[in-house]
Amino acid sequence: MKFTITKSNFLDGLNHVSRVIAPNSLFEILKGIKIELEKDKLILKASDSLVSVEYSVDSFEDDKEVITIEEEGQVVLPSRNFIEIIRKAPTDLIEIETVGNNILVKSGKSEFNVKGYDANDYPEFPVISKENSLKLEANVFNDIIKETVFCTAPNDQRPILEGVNFSLSNKILTATATDSYRLSRRQVTLNDEDSNKEFNLIIPRKALTYFQRMIENGKDQVEIFYENNRIVLYYQNVVYTVLLISGNYPNTNKLIPTVFECTFVANSREFFSAVDRVALMSREDKDDIIKLVVTDNLLEVSSQSKELGSAVEELKVSSTLEDEKFEISVSGKYLKDAVAAVAAEEIIVKFSGELTAFIIQPSDYHREIIELILPVRTY
Amino acid sequence: MKFTITKSNFLDGLNHVSRVIAPNSLFEILKGIKIELEKDKLILKASDSLVSVEYSVDSFEDDKEVITIEEEGQVVLPSRNFIEIIRKAPTDLIEIETVGNNILVKSGKSEFNVKGYDANDYPEFPVISKENSLKLEANVFNDIIKETVFCTAPNDQRPILEGVNFSLSNKILTATATDSYRLSRRQVTLNDEDSNKEFNLIIPRKALTYFQRMIENGKDQVEIFYENNRIVLYYQNVVYTVLLISGNYPNTNKLIPTVFECTFVANSREFFSAVDRVALMSREDKDDIIKLVVTDNLLEVSSQSKELGSAVEELKVSSTLEDEKFEISVSGKYLKDAVAAVAAEEIIVKFSGELTAFIIQPSDYHREIIELILPVRTY
């Protein structure tokens, strides 16, 4: 293998694929990045065995030569050190040549001879059937991930809760995540062409987090191919192959209350800041308890810590109440996460009882998003 | 105690003094910040028992009222949480009032009742005699610290090496630090008025690091009062009291070679970058060995790692040689630290033998700085 490549293009690819690498992988070779030089492009591959990523660099970019290919071939690079070698290279053009599994890197007067691994020892990525697919705008997919992934359970005893459930039925794509203390659900209505597609998948948090980072500021579309136990995500020059979480995701629809004894509408930023401040007194306690008291168009947010002291703040809201007063205790962190996810100027908070789950939504319902939180019992 | 203060002024002071606090201090009260409200100023105090800092906020700043003082008094704040409470306060004016050791904080509709500590339990800061003092420009003192402190020994068996030795004699202030593998020495000639002052002190690294951070972009002068076992540093509105390291600092002058069998002059940036790149192959080895080979106006920088591979780079230099070739092995990190400390466009590197310490200086000697490094034996 022998080629010359523009430093920035090479570095972008290396940095991108290296993100999925598990630095403490059991398999030495999975700490590396496989590069495959074909006749008109360079492909970079990395995997942590659950998420695999493939990144292509075409030899020409808008008629500008990015890679000069002299001899095709493939090798596995030791990722961590190699990326730094490229990053610190003194010139804009980098010459790569392999001699066996050794990689010679030349840049100006700097020469490296880097020990690599045999490309034949690198596992083949699975091939997926292209029968079932769905297209989503990158920015919509980005929103869906951001709005749900924070509610997945960290290292839960039930692995299914470590992923986000994506289900498609009657043109409605529903993404749901819950750690069993709170839940986030976002729905999107798809185009007519997708009207008879159906699926029900659990995508692991880790894969979604990587993918979201890539499409964060993205235009274009994401194309998703799905099978029973895996999906492949295509976006621009990158392909992610993801092993799905197997199992049946719980039916969470029945958890969402529909009858309410108290609601209030508040300015999101004001509510978030008040909770954020008051939580300074609760955040170090295990339950991180914030108390909300709703009276006529007034919300009191407070907390109390034996050790630190207490905090209280009042907010003007628009409330509806069955009784004179409604009180509930809730985790400050969950409250902040939910308000941030709803990302609306005004939110509506709807309570169905002091000990039952309550929901937070945009006050104008302009996005189909529901945040559900279980209160904390304080007695 | 009762006062109203501008958020930014209060926060600047709290942030400043909190830096010296040892979060795992044995003494609960030393995790706090003592505030003393006098008739025309607020004084903030913090200490880790070796370094103590005192920060004053005057009630008026250029005729603008910064603090409205209603009732004098003092209390000790729980630093970590309190700073966040002030940082997140919703308004620019903050009202503070104590009720016993409880601190009421009001800002807009937000109210905190923070548990503090009894100010009487906070240790008194030592008072130093103002007999012996010295003034230094802040930017000069800043340079001296930066140029030496990195050579102090981390947690050495000999505590004296954990500080920088400052000695004054014949109007020359000499700052020396060594970890016994390398040494950095900076000298400054003082004004005539200081001609008969003399001292020989060891200032702990930690104190210098705090102090340097404060004067980093500073104008004005630093005034230093010194006694046998402590110094007090005055800078603008801040006073640092520092317990010195006791003991006799070794005489390091005799370590600095004066006869050389090889020298080279190189562009600092080029040399640093070459070492930085080549060190990518050595930095994970215990000794981090970089090999330098000087021939006629040429320097070869190289490294070799069993595991990772090898790197080599050539640099044009101006060399003087007794033999045809001079070779030496040295820690890549020490080399980079030394070149960075010398901070000159061109450096001169002077070798007196392949197994003896060598020195690095600015090629035009415009600053009295010497970096000394012991080579590594490779056989």
Q: What percent of chain B has pLDDT over 70?
A: 99
The pLDDT, as a whole number, for residue B126 is: 87
Hey, which residues 303-332 in chain B have their CB within 8 Å of chain A? 307-315
Q: What is the 3-state secondary structure of chain A?
A: CEEEEEHHHHHHHHHHHHCCCCCCCCCHHHHEEEEEECCCEEEEEEECCCEEEEEEEECEECCEECEEEEECEEEEEEHHHHHHHHHCCCCCEEEEEEECCEEEEEECCEEEEEECECHHHCCCCCCCCCCCEEEEEHHHHHHHHHHHHHHCCCCCCCHHHHEEEEEEECCEEEEEEECCCEEEEEEEECCHHHCCCCEEEEEEHHHHHHHHHHHCCCCCEEEEEECCCEEEEEECCEEEEEECCCCCCCCCHHHCCCCCCEEEEEEHHHHHHHHHHHHHHCCCCCCCEEEEEEECCEEEEEEEECCCEEEEEEEECEEEECCCCEEEEEEHHHHHHHHHHHCCCEEEEEECCCCCCEEEEECCCCCEEEEEECCCCCC
Interatomic CA distance for residues A355 and A376, integer angstroms: 8
DSSP B242-262: EEPPPSPPP--GGGS----SE
Q: Work out the pLDDT band at A354, boundaries 50, 70, 90.
A: very high
Interatomic CA distance for residues A25 and A375, integer angstroms: 39
CB atoms B109 and A314 under 8 Å: yes
On whether any CB of chain A is under 8 Å from the CB of B254, the answer is no
Question: What's the mean pLDDT when you consider all of chain B?
Answer: 94
Nearest-CA residue of chain B relative to A117?
B308
Do the Cβ atoms of B236 and B223 come closer than 8 Å? no
- Decide if pLDDT at A353 tops 70: yes
The pLDDT, as a whole number, for residue B158 is: 85
- Decide if pLDDT at A294 tops 90: yes
Q: How distant is the Cα of B129 from the closest Cα of chain A, in angstroms?
A: 39
**Listed range (A171-175, A279-283, B191-195, B276-280) with the worst mean pLDDT:** B191-195
Q: Work out the pLDDT band at A379, boundaries 50, 70, 90.
A: low
Interatomic CA distance for residues A212 and A22, integer angstroms: 18
Q: What integer is the mean pLDDT of B229-234?
A: 94
CB atoms B115 and A277 under 8 Å: no
Q: What integer is the mean pLDDT of B307-327?
A: 96
* B113, B308, B313: residue with CB nearest A310: B113
CB atoms B276 and A307 under 8 Å: no
* B89, B113, B276: residue with CB nearest A88: B276
Nearest-CA residue of chain B relative to A303?
B112
C-alpha A198, offset from chain centre: 23
CB atoms A90 and B314 under 8 Å: no
CB atoms A115 and B308 under 8 Å: yes
**Listed range (A214-218, B98-102, B205-209, B366-370) with the worst mean pLDDT:** A214-218
CB atoms A274 and B312 under 8 Å: no
Hey, which residues 70-99 in chain B have their CB within 8 Å of chain A? 78, 81, 84-85, 88-90
Burial class (CB in 10 A: 0-12, 13-18, 19+), A259: exposed
Q: Going from the N-terminus, what domains does chain A have, and what CATH number goes with each? A: 2-121 (3.10.150.10), 134-243 (3.10.150.10), 262-373 (3.10.150.10)
- Decide if pLDDT at A156 tops 80: no
Q: What integer is the mean pLDDT of B154-183?
A: 92
Q: Which ipTM score applies to this complex?
A: 0.86
Tokens in use for B354?
């392949």
CB atoms A81 and B109 under 8 Å: no
CB atoms B110 and A308 under 8 Å: no
Nearest-CA residue of chain A relative to B80?
A280
The pLDDT, as a whole number, for residue B379 is: 66
Q: Work out the pLDDT band at A360, boundaries 50, 70, 90.
A: very high
**Listed range (A4-8, B193-197, B243-247, B272-276) with the worst mean pLDDT:** B193-197
* pTM of this structure: 0.89
* B88, B115, B308: residue with CB nearest A307: B115
